[in-house]
Amino acid sequence: MDWRSLVKEQEASGENASQYCGKRGIRLNKFYNWRSKLKAEGGGFARVETSKRVSLELEGGITIRVLVSDLKEVLAALR
């Protein structure tokens, strides 16, 4: 199984982990273990919304909002 894809899919689905796993026959404890491992690896997840502005929601409740025209410069500064 591609756990990274499953975790991202669950987060985008709007379902909680229990609902998501139940519908797909995935053992909930295994899902939680993999989700924890992936986040610990620095495989944090971010939701990106675009228009004239980009909003990046990072782990820990951090949100960055920038104009699309400034995105390249902001990403370079974050590296």
Give the model's confidence band at 70: pLDDT under 50 very low, under 70 low, under 90 confident, else very high: confident
Question: What is the C-alpha to C-alpha distance for residues 64 and 34, in angstroms, rounded to an integer?
Answer: 27
* pLDDT tens for each residue of 30-67: 999 988 888 777 655 565 555 677 777 776 677 778 88
Q: Are 45 and 58 in contact (CB under 8 A)?
A: no
* pLDDT tens for each residue of 17-28: 999 999 999 999
